[in-house]
Amino acid sequence: MSLYGLMAVFADPEALVEAARGMRERGYRHMDAFSPFPMKELDEILEIPPTRLPWAVLAGGIAGAALVYTLIWYSVEIDYPINVGGRPLHSWPPFVVIAFEAGILGAALAGFLGMLAANGLPRYYHPIFNAERFTYARGGRFYLLVEADDPKYRKGVTKGQLTRLGAEIVEEVEA
Amino acid sequence: MAKASADSPAVLRGRHDFPEISGRIGSIVLNGRLPRHFWTAFFLCFLLVLLLLYSITYLIAVGVGAYGIDIPVAWGTMISNFVWWIGIGHAGTLISAVLLLLRQPWRASINRFAEAMTLFAVAMAGLFPILHLGRPWFFYWLLPLPNVHMHWPQWRSPLVWDFAAIATYATVSLLFWYMGLLPDLAVLRDRARSRPAQLFYGILALGWRGSAYHWSRYTIVYFLIAALATPLVVSVHSIVSLDFTFAITPGYHSTIFPPYFVAGALLSGFAMVLTIAIPLRWAFSIEDLITLRHMDNAAKLMIAAGMVVAYGYVSEAFFAWYSGEPYERAMMAQRALGPYSPLFWTMLSLNCGVLQLLWFRRVRRNMPLLFAIAIAINIGMWIERYIIVVTGPSRDYLPTSWGEQSLTWLDFGILFGSIGTFFALVFLFIRILPAITIFEVEELAEEEGKVR
């Protein structure tokens, strides 16, 4: 059994933010935090890079609209042209309606699937679930994980630092 | 964060701690000890589900003539049910998406069941155009599938747009709903004690663990999907109204229809939100999570949407007169004075008359009365859809073939069957999934400083 990292438990969100900041100042980089609701402050402290998912959403939207518009255009101009009293085959205004809906669908699918892919979900096994204290359910606990592969990681030292930063319990997490 | 002013009730009442919030919401689902009247109500709804199944079987076996449509009125209750249900769905999306974009804190405890309401309403709505086809088993002809018939859908037809709009709306609503559920499913997974429940919620939670990295992407994408859902709602009901306006039938051919339909959708949708929320908060004693403030705001939105609908009625009548077209004028006169006049005046008195009671704060805060008004608006909006669908074709350009649609038992069998099925689905949803968003209420408690 190898060690995955150290997990510190905090009683309230402010304590978690303080501890994350403190550990960062001490030079730790391989950290993750777990909270029952989103906490904006952590993004900056953990230096979470801004996500590129909005671009995926835009691309999905454009792709959906373009694909469906092309399909319609192909069907009326090439595959099955019907001349009705000389009206234009490529009458774009009604086609835009369906292309718009397809664009929304493409964007939403790209956003949802992109979020799952970027987060590596579904992932039913993760070392953090091995920690006895880790329970997402209670809601009243906030966790900071320092990974063992962090260059600054020294078993005894890190544990002491976490405790001094106000951790209620520090637990070793096995991989 | 908007602070509740002195006289308006708070979004969240009392002080809470996090285990208490997730415990209370989660235990409704996990203990499974629901009050007896819950199951009695579910049983009654289930009888209506059986009625729906029977009615649909009868309809398919006998044909669409069985529910009282005939030339000249070839569109009947199937279309009005469809428009009504889709409208009910829209308020759910509005609550969850638009209020998220506007950062309205009062959204947090009602968005989940509003979204569920959207999903089930869209599921009901989707049934009707298909049943209306007469040969429902060919509905997939609306899709551009490669097939042996060598045909394509008619892209210039609003009916095909409608299919695209409804399919997109159902899919996006489902994604948005499921995405909002992910963190709460993880809470249930960790709280569940029985193995089947752990497996069920565990599989659905996709291994969510609340990592800060995940939350940062999650919140951005959730916000973006909300931003996408907002124009989608408007486009969906506008396209539904184009089903009518593209015809030259008197009473259908009007440019006010798209905004008028969207406003009507919101009015009936908020009425349905109240119809569900008032018994829900009472039955589960969650008056401190879904507070009077929510009820009050929903009632205010109802009156805003209702005034736009009233403007739509006026505009319809005015332009029928202003067009100078004898058949448009005749249709409007016949709508008010002809065979459908009792329904027409009932609709006006409910949607424009009873609604005005909501101007009074005391009425908005009186739950039994508000519930009664919500029911009245639901009925009024159904009648409105029916009147729009039926009166036009019944007074067409050929007076010799004027005629009415006769309502048969099958019309009501399918309508009440669909209402029962909708509520049966709502009951199952309350039993199986958390009806209030746990993580957003906790975030709200944290932001408002109401944590013990």
Assembly ipTM: 0.89
Return the bridge partners of A33, or none.
A144
Which of A54, A94, A105 faces B220 most closely, judged by CB atoms? A54
Spatial CB neighbours of A152, under 8 Å, sequence gap ≥ 6: A26, A27, A28, A29, A158
Tokens 């008197």 locate to B250
The Cα–Cα gap between B39 and B49 comes to: 15
User: What pLDDT is attached to residue B7?
Assistant: 46
Tell me whether residues B228 and A102 touch, CB distance under 8 A: no
Instruction: Identify the residue with better confidence: B209 or A107.
Output: A107
A93 CA: distance to closest CA in chain B (Å): 9
| Residues A150/B236, Cβ–Cβ less than 8 Å | no
Tell me whether residues B189 and A136 touch, CB distance under 8 A: yes
Give the neighbor-by-neighbor strand order of the sheet with A3-10: A31-34, A142-147, A3-10, A169-174
Provide the residue count of chain B: 452
User: What pLDDT is attached to residue A56?
Assistant: 92
* Arch. (CATH architecture) of A3-50+127-174: 2-Layer Sandwich (3.30)
| Residues B438/B184, Cβ–Cβ less than 8 Å | yes
Return the bridge partners of A5, or none.
A147, A173
Angle of CA points B163, B165, B171, to nearest 5°: 100
Per-residue pLDDT of B175-227, as tens digits, reads 988 998 888 888 888 888 888 888 888 889 888 888 888 888 998 999 899 88
Q: In chain A, which residues have their Cβ closer than 8 Å to the Cβ of B439?
A: 36-38
**What is the residue type of A141?**
R
Per-residue pLDDT of B366-408, as tens digits, reads 999 999 999 999 999 999 999 999 998 888 888 888 888 888 8
Cβ burial of A14 (10 Å; 0-12, 13-18, 19+) is middle
Q: How confident is the model at residue B5 (pLDDT cuts 50, 70, 90)?
A: very low
B130 CA: distance to closest CA in chain A (Å): 19
Q: How confident is the model at residue B438 (pLDDT cuts 50, 70, 90)?
A: confident
Q: Inform me whether the pLDDT recorded for A60 exceeds 50.
A: yes
The Cα–Cα gap between B338 and B53 comes to: 35
Q: Inform me whether the pLDDT recorded for B1 exceeds 50.
A: no
Q: Considering only residues 242 to 271 of chain B, which have any Cβ-Cβ distance to chain A shorter than 8 Å?
A: none
Q: Considering only residues 32 to 51 of chain A, which have any Cβ-Cβ distance to chain B shorter than 8 Å?
A: 32-39, 42-43, 46, 48, 51
Tokens 């209702």 locate to B306
B221 CA: distance to closest CA in chain A (Å): 6
User: What pLDDT is attached to residue B442?
Assistant: 76
User: What pLDDT is attached to residue B341?
Assistant: 93
Mean pLDDT (whole number) for B30-48? 85
User: What pLDDT is attached to residue B148?
Assistant: 67
Tell me whether residues A79 and B213 touch, CB distance under 8 A: no
Return the bridge partners of A143, or none.
A9, A34
3-class SS letters over B94-128? HHHHHHHHCCCHHHCCCHHHHHHHHHHHHHHHHHH
The Cα–Cα gap between A20 and B72 comes to: 72
User: What pLDDT is attached to residue B39?
Assistant: 87
Percent residues over pLDDT 70 in chain A:
97
Quickly count: other Cβ atoms within 10 Å of residue B322's Cβ.
11
Give the closest residue to B342 by CA, choosing from B291, B309, B392, B386: B386
How many Cα atoms are found within 13 Å in the side-chain-facing hemisphere of B95? 35
Spatial CB neighbours of B195, under 8 Å, sequence gap ≥ 6: none
User: What pLDDT is attached to residue A59?
Assistant: 95
Q: In chain B, which residues have their Cβ closer than 8 Å to the Cβ of A35?
A: 210, 212, 215
Cβ burial of B315 (10 Å; 0-12, 13-18, 19+) is middle
Give the closest residue to B378 by CA, choosing from B61, B105, B88: B88
Tokens 């908060």 locate to B281
Quickly count: other Cβ atoms within 10 Å of residue A113's Cβ.
14
Q: What 3-state class would DSSP assign to A32?
A: strand
DSSP class of residue B199 equals H
DSSP states of B365-393 = T-HHHHHHHHHHHHHHHHHHHHHHHHHHH
Mean pLDDT (whole number) for B436-449? 75
Among positive and negative, which fits the CA dihedral B300, B305, B306, B307?
positive
Provide the residue count of chain A: 175
Per-residue pLDDT of B341-353, as tens digits, reads 999 999 999 999 9
Quickly count: other Cβ atoms within 10 Å of residue A83's Cβ.
8
Instruction: Identify the residue with better confidence: B139 or A62.
Output: A62
Spatial CB neighbours of B119, under 8 Å, sequence gap ≥ 6: B89, B92, B170, B173, B174, B177
Q: Considering only residues 57 to 96 of chain A, which have any Cβ-Cβ distance to chain B shorter than 8 Å?
A: 57, 61, 71-72, 75-76, 79-80, 91, 94-95
User: What pLDDT is attached to residue A51?
Assistant: 84
Tell me whether residues B190 and A136 touch, CB distance under 8 A: yes
Per-residue pLDDT of B261-281, as tens digits, reads 999 998 998 899 889 888 888
User: What pLDDT is attached to residue B10?
Assistant: 61
Q: Considering only residues 33 to 92 of chain B, which have any Cβ-Cβ distance to chain A shorter than 8 Å?
A: none
Mean pLDDT (whole number) for B62-72? 85
Percent residues over pLDDT 90 in chain B:
37
Lowest mean pLDDT among A40-44, B34-38, B357-361, B443-447: B443-447
Which of B171, B202, B440 faces A105 most closely, judged by CB atoms? B171
Q: How confident is the model at residue A2 (pLDDT cuts 50, 70, 90)?
A: confident
Lowest mean pLDDT among A50-54, A125-129, B102-106, B406-410: B102-106
Q: In chain A, which residues have their Cβ closer than 8 Å to the Cβ of B213?
A: 32, 46, 48, 119
Domain with CATH 3.30.70 in chain A: 3-50+127-174
Q: How confident is the model at residue B172 (pLDDT cuts 50, 70, 90)?
A: very high
User: What pLDDT is attached to residue B302?
Assistant: 92
A157 CA: distance to closest CA in chain B (Å): 24
Tokens 């291994």 locate to B207
| Residues A175/A4, Cβ–Cβ less than 8 Å | yes
Q: Inform me whether the pLDDT recorded for A162 exceeds 80.
A: no
Residue of B nearest to A69 (CA): B155
| Residues B159/B245, Cβ–Cβ less than 8 Å | no
